[in-house]
A and B are shown apart, each in its own frame.
Chain A
Amino acid sequence: MLQVRHLSKSFGAVQVLKSVSLDLAAGEIHGLIGANGCGKTTLLNILFGHPLIAATGGYSGDLLLEGRATRVDSPVTALRCGIGMIHQEFALIPSMTVAENIKINRERTQPLTDRLFGRTLSLVHRRGNRDDAERALATLGVSLPADMRVSQIALSTKQFVEIAREIDKRRLQLLMLDEPSAVLSQSDTERLMEALRKLSAEGTAILYVSHRLEEVISLCDRITVLREGKVVGQWARPGFDLRTMVEQMSGRQVVKARRTSKKRAEEVLCRIEDLHVDKPGERLQGLSLDVKQGEILGLAGLSGHGKLAIGPGIMGMHPIAGRIYLNGEQIRNPGASIMLHKGVCFLPEDRTAAGLLMDHAIMDNIVFTAAQVDGRFARTRWLKALSLLNRAEIQRYAQDCVDRFHIKCRSIRQRAAELSGGNQQKVCIARALAIQPKLLIVSEPTRGVDVVAKEIILEIFLELNRDLGMTLVIASSELDELKRICDRIAVIYKGRLFDILAPDCEDRDFTLAFSGEWKRKP
């Protein structure tokens, strides 16, 4: 159905795609995998006619749609060719209903007014649109009243609304998905994959990009591996070999990080009692939890149940109620400033929006928090707020961090925005370490990070815990990773602590706990 022939693309002097070729048959699910920055997103953007591609000088190579050479120069052309795309970020209008979002620009209209005023000025047929929207959602196995506003539905459901919008297009031939499961929980991901299989059975080709290899392997008929803009491997089912694929992606072998020595600490470092956090989409409603000195505590649970709300809550990003004790002392009016002074640091899940100053140099990012909180790197001992910063010391410290965490960059002066996800996360960790925290709370540390960088980051966490005795609280949707590095895993269900499980529990137990059904054996 689609043939890509020798596709190349450069951004300025950097060539991100080097003569990439691949074929897609109708009804095929094709996986596209590769480390961060290997050119996956660029490839999708070319196929979708993203304006950025044309603005940066277009591409070379050919696209053949049904055997005919086609040039997709804008999203409108892509639409006309029957190519739909689901972006990493949601493209939904929150204040409109689900049906309006799905049918946008393709609304059904009243036949009478059609005749009177023409299509563009005709009245919208609300019930018809709602029925269409609900039908599209039903194909995905989602039942949802289509007259709800998008702002009111859960994050994972939004993903389905996006897909419903694409499949509602009559002539959809190719659907491209860029990391669709990043925001979905395990069960939602399974539902998504079920829906995609159904879609492909009806003849739609699917191009699926994901960092989660297990997912890609179980879903796709064929897989293309990209590394540094080149196709380094193409696989067809059966005959997938996960280990070789990972080696192809990274160009080397990957060792999985794993906790070796486990200790049972009993001293409580941080006690949380009846914590309510009003974080939209991730509410906590009365969580009580003890974090013990020197442990790695995992926070697991389905998305929307509140596991990501603890850090933002105690850092004062959202309204909270409840009691927090550090070393037995109650913290009144918790907020970022007091928490940082007490040695609690938080790394948010959304690095680009909250974790980094994207326009600043790596070194400025690394030292920022320490300079603000402790007055570190100041030149004078007095009036630190107005003291000049010690550039030499900052450079030395930043260079140390870059070496220690193997942050891949041209220099410590490079902008944070230019780094890949994994390296950005390392910069975030380095920034937190500069204040020498006693307790580090991390949300989704490996989201959007490739397999290689993922293991390095997990290894860094283990090292901090082992060598510096740092206590870590890691909230993550990647249960497998939590099981490998945590001492205890707390399952959050409906905004409360459901239970604390040992990391060696069965997956089945976790799945039951996530849905609030597991009972501790007597």
Chain B
Amino acid sequence: MSGIKLPQLFIIAFLLLMLVMAGLLGIPLGIVVGDSLVRLAMNGVLVLSLLPMLNAGIGINFGLPVGICAGLLGMCLAVNWRGSGLIGFVEALLFSMPVAIVFGTVYSRILNRVKGREEIAATFVGFSFIPLMNFFWTVAPFGNPAMLWPIGGKGLRPSIGLKSYFGKALNDLWAVKLHGLPMPLGLLLFFGLLCLVAHLFFRTKSGRAMIAVGENETFALISGVDVKRIRAIAVILSTIIGAWGICVYAQSYGFIELYDAPMMMAFPAASAVLVGGSMGHRTTILNVILGTYLFQTVYILSVPLANELLVPEVAEIIRMFISNGIILWALLHEGTKSSHATV
């Protein structure tokens, strides 16, 4: 079990320091805490989607845009038929699932061919998939005028407002205030439920097989596990959860962002899981939740702090620095682990 280790303690300490400073500078902490919970659940599902592929030894799913596009397509279908509120959101989840299965199957075929170099191959699958989808977005025969370019009436808009559809459907579900702290109970519950299902999945026979494939393929093979099939299942699961992840994200954000928007979305998710202490195969739900929370909270705290302490423009620079720096740092940390492996 990999849980809280030194690097995680370091980040937690850094976070506490930031909280103290935010308190001293008069930044309202209640809002920050409420925000951090929303962002945990909003991004958490995307981070969770990395889990099956990590545990199957395929590595970080840098091809997350594939799953995201499946989710976007599902949501577009839901909006097209004017699904609204919670029902609209569930429709989006349901529509995106078959799409994700189809995309995931093709994606898994590719990844099974490039064994050993999956991460870089996945990155480029993601990058090259986006132009393909861009083409699709411009010609797709959607009929709801709210989604189309206002002039000409053909092709989808880069961002589609969800306000009259299922924007905030989960965020507002059972949103309560506890002692002045806003608590998005519905959103947290949905995320928690997905985590629980994923956790239980890895305790089933199939989940065990997946972890075994990740740790030692030869062992799995002679134990009668169909390695290629398990890897394909892991990729498909990652793609489905990724599709759902973008649905959760979009309803919270309030917009469906099409075209090039998914291009870089794999990277913050990857940083989050690495911050959580993921060590390649053997990544747990705890790594996912802890990582997402720490990463997102550092993120939302750094901006007001930077604005207060430094010039306002620096906030964006700090954001980029933190999200990419954390990937590098976590990869460095992972590297030292393997080079100090015991004999």
Question: Which residues of A come within 8 Å of B, CB atoms?
Answer: 41, 45, 50, 52, 55, 312, 315-317, 336-337, 339-341, 346, 348, 353-360, 364, 368-369, 371-373, 375, 378, 384-389, 417
Would you call A387 and B205 a contact (CB within 8 A)?
yes
Within 8 Å by CB of B224, from A41, A50, A373, lies A373
Partner of B216, one of A336, A346, A358: A358
Instruction: Return chain A residues, CB-CB under 8 Å to B204.
Output: 385-389
Find the A residue at minimum CB distance from B282: A359
Bound CA span A509–B98, Å: 67
Q: Which residue of B203, B221, B226, B340 contacts A389 across the interface (Cβ within 8 Å)?
A: B203
Report the Cα distance A355→B223, complex, angstroms.
Answer: 9
A389 and B343 within 8 A (CB): no
For A379, give the chain B residue with the smallest CB separation: B204
Which of B60-68, B75-83, B175-183, B206-214 is near enough to bind chain A? B206-214
Q: Measured between alpha carbons, how far is A126 from B224 in the docked complex, in Å?
A: 49
Distance of A384 Cα from B206 Cα, bound (Å)? 9
CB pair B215 A359 closer than 8 Å:
yes
Given contacts A354-B222, A355-B219, contact A50 B203 (CB under 8 A): no
Whether B164 sits at the interface, judged by CB under 8 Å, is no
Within 8 A of A (CB), among B162-205: 200-201, 203-205
Q: How many A-B residue pairs have CB under 8 A?
A: 85
Contacts of A346 in B (CB 8 A): 222
Question: Which B residues lie within 8 Å of A388 (CB)?
Answer: 200, 203-204
Q: Which residues of A contact B216 (CB under 8 A)?
A: 353-354, 356-358
Cα–Cα distance between A360 and B208 once the two chains are bound (Å)? 11
Can you list 16 A-B pairs, Cβ within 8 angstroms, ordered by A?
A52-B340, A52-B342, A55-B340, A315-B222, A336-B221, A337-B225, A346-B222, A348-B222, A355-B219, A368-B223, A369-B224, A372-B209, A375-B205, A386-B201, A386-B206, A389-B204
- Smallest Cβ-Cβ distance to A50: which chain B residue: B343
Chain B residues positioned under 8 Å from A373 (CB to CB): 223-224
A189 to B145, CA, bound (A): 82
Which residues on B sit within 8 Å (CB–CB) of A378?
Answer: 205
Asked if B324 lies at the interface with its beta carbon under 8 angstroms from chain A, I say: no
- Determine the chain B residues whose CB is within 8 A of the CB of A348 once the complex forms: 218, 222
**In chain B, what residue has the closest Cβ to A374?**
B224
Known: A337-B225, A384-B205. 15 other contacts (CB 8 A): A317-B218, A317-B221, A317-B222, A336-B225, A340-B224, A354-B216, A354-B218, A359-B215, A368-B208, A372-B205, A388-B203, A388-B204, A389-B203, A389-B205, A389-B208
Q: A163 → chain B, closest Cβ, in Å?
A: 21
> Are B203 and A385 in contact, CB atoms less than 8 angstroms apart?
no
From B203, B208, B226, name the one whose CB has the most chain A CB atoms within 10 angstroms. Answer: B208
A94 to B125: give the CA distance in the assembly, Å.
Answer: 32
Complex: how many Å from CA A62 to CA B28?
Answer: 62
Q: Of A315, A317, A385, which one neighbours B206 at CB under 8 angstroms?
A: A385
B228 CB → nearest A CB, Å: 12
Interface string of B271-309 (1 = CB under 8 A from A): 000000000011000000000000000000000000000
User: Taking the nearest CB of chain A, how far is it from the CB of B284, in angstroms?
Assistant: 13
Provide the bound-state CA to CA distance between A316 and B212, in Å: 18
Given the complex, which residues of A lie within 8 Å of B203, measured CB to CB?
Answer: 388-389
Taken together as a complex, chains A and B put the C-alpha atoms of A41 and B216 apart, in Å, by 25
**In the bound complex, what is the Cα–Cα distance between A339 and B203 (angstroms)?**
25
B219 touches A356 (CB 8 A): yes
Q: How far is the CB of A153 from chain B (nearest CB, A)?
A: 24
Chain A residues whose CB sits within 8 angstroms of the CB of B205 once the complex forms: 371-372, 375, 378, 384-387, 389
How long is the Cα–Cα vector from A481 to B200 in the complex, in angstroms? 46
Distance between Cα atoms of A68 and B201 in the complex (Å): 62
Q: B223 touches which one: A45, A312, A340 (CB < 8 A)?
A: A340
Q: How far is the CA of A449 from the CA of B136 in the complex (A)?
A: 62
Inter-chain contacts of A417 with B (CB < 8 A) = 342
A371-B208 in contact (CB<8A): yes
Chain A residues lying within 8 Å of B218, measured Cβ to Cβ, are: 317, 348, 353-354
Cα of A50 to Cα of B224 in the assembled complex, Å = 38
Closest residue on chain B to residue A378 by CB atoms: B205
**In the bound complex, what is the Cα–Cα distance between A186 and B279 (angstroms)?**
43
CB distance from A311 to the nearest CB of B (A): 8
Cα A400 to Cα B171 with chains together (Å) = 51
Known: A354-B216, A368-B212, A372-B205. A337 touches B282 (CB 8 A): no
- CA distance in complex: A458, B225 (Å): 29
Contact of A52 among B209, B219, B343 (CB under 8 A): B343
Q: Separation in Å of the A216 CB from the closest CB of chain B?
A: 22
A386 to B343, CA, bound (A): 37
The interface residues of chain B lying within 8 Å CB-to-CB of A315 are 221-222
Interface centre among B200, B219, B340, B343 (most CB of A within 10 A): B219
Closest Cβ–Cβ distance, residue A53 to chain B (whole Å): 10
Closest chain A residue to B223 by CB distance?
A: A369
Residue of A nearest to B206 (CB): A385
> Whole-angstrom distance from the CB of B60 to the nearest CB of chain A?
19
Q: Establish whether residues B215 and A357, one from each chain, have CB atoms under 8 Å apart when the complex forms.
A: yes
List of B residues within 8 angstroms of A52 by Cβ: 340, 342-343
Find chain A residues with CB under 8 A from B225 CB: 336-337, 372
Chain A residues in 8 Å Cβ range of B206: 385-386
Contact A357 B224 (CB under 8 A): no
For the complex, what is the distance from the CA of A297 to the CA of B281, rounded to whole Å?
39
Minimum CB–CB distance for A320 against chain B, Å: 14
Report A178 CB to chain B, min CB distance, Å: 11
A386 to B, closest residue via Cβ? B204
Once the chains bind, are A360 and B215 in contact (CB under 8 Å)? Answer: yes
Question: Cβ of B209: which chain A residues have Cβ within 8 Å of it?
Answer: 372
**Residues of chain B within 8 A of A340, CB atoms compared:** 223-224
Q: Say how far A479's CB is from chain B's closest CB, in angstroms.
A: 26
Shortest Cβ gap from A333 to chain B (Å)? 13
Complex partner residue of A337 from B200, B219, B224, CB under 8 angstroms: B224
Q: Which A-chain residue is minimally distant from B343 (CB atoms)?
A: A52
Chain A: which residue is nearest B212 at the CB level?
A: A357
Determine how close the nearest CB of chain B comes to the CB of A401; give it in whole angstroms: 16
* Docked pose: A385 CA to B219 CA in angstroms: 19
Asked whether B222 lies within 8 Å of A336 as measured between CB atoms, the reply is yes
Q: Given that A368-B212, A388-B203 are known contacts, is A41 also in contact with B222, CB under 8 Å in the complex?
A: no
Question: Which of B204, B222, B223 gathers most chain A CB within 10 Å?
Answer: B223
Q: Which residues of A contact B222 (CB under 8 A)?
A: 312, 315, 317, 336, 346, 348, 354
Query: A205 vs B116: C-alpha distance in the bound complex, in angstroms?
Result: 43
Complex Cα spacing A45 to B342, Å: 12
Give the docked Cα–Cα distance between A368 and B203 (Å). Answer: 12
Q: A371-B205, A387-B204 are in contact. Are A45 and B221 (CB under 8 A)?
A: no
